[in-house]
Amino acid sequence: MKKVFTGRSVLFGFFLVAFIIVFEIVLERLKLPAWPAFMVMICFFIEHEDPGSVPRILIGGLAGIGCVVLLGHVGPALTPYLGTEASKLLFIGIFVYSIVLFKDALPPVFNAFAFLFFLAASVASRAPNPEPYVWMGVEIVVGGIFIVGILGISRLVEAVLDEEKALETALSADPSSLAEKTAQEPDSKH
């Protein structure tokens, strides 16, 4: 049976929750929406924290939010000819078809993350005073910080666990040598 809790998951989870709380407070104080950055974080976890997925997540997310902006301009231009709903559906159809057609040619731009962010930004744009350019900035800047933070937390946890493992190995090899070494160290209280 697999362990439910590992040292890595407990330590990583503790640091991640602290990181999230700090950024939630900072973004709230700055009156910035947190959802684009947290979507980047979730996408990065879906990709198993693979640094190679970062361009697809960040650029795809930016493209998805950008398409909401583009829909805001193209939709009204086509409405007199096609009607509101048909204009919107035509744009969405072209966007989705572009992802299918160009996913291999331009994977950082045309990917599932672009569609995911397009969907979330479309929903968010229904709220009063939508700010898609702010969402784009938060997605790129704070989302990028989140990815760097996750990678940093992983390295910190690995370093702590490696140090702990080295200490356990040293103790199991010769516990008396550690006791002698500790006894020989000068008292730091003096």
Domain ranges within the chain, ordered by starting residue: 65-150
pLDDT given at position 188: 54
pLDDT tens sequence across 126-172: 999 999 999 999 999 999 999 999 999 999 999 999 888 877 777 77
Is 130 in contact with 36 (CB distance < 8 Å)?
no
Indicate if the pLDDT at residue 5 is higher than 90.
Answer: no
pLDDT given at position 84: 94
CA-closest candidate to residue 116, choices 96, 134, 98: 96
pLDDT tens sequence across 26-71: 999 999 999 999 999 999 999 999 999 999 999 999 999 999 999 9
pLDDT given at position 178: 57
For 124, other C-beta atoms within 10 Å of its C-beta total 18
How far are the Cα atoms of 60, 79, 94, 101 from residue 98, in angstroms, in the given order? Answer: 13, 21, 6, 5
pLDDT given at position 177: 59
pTM over 0.75: yes
How does the average pLDDT of the chain come out, rounded? 91
Q: Which tops the pLDDT comparison, 183 or 81?
A: 81
Rg of the Cα atoms in the chain: 24
pLDDT given at position 37: 98
Residue 50 gets the label, from left (phi > 0), alpha (psi -120 to 50) or beta, of: beta
Q: Give the mean model confidence (pLDDT) for residues 13-38.
A: 97
Between CA 163 and CA 185 the distance in angstroms is 20
CA-closest candidate to residue 110, choices 96, 129, 126: 96
pLDDT given at position 4: 81
| Angle, alpha carbons 3-5-11 (nearest 5°) | 140
Indicate if the pLDDT at residue 190 is higher than 60.
Answer: no
Indicate if the pLDDT at residue 186 is higher than 80.
Answer: no
pLDDT given at position 132: 98
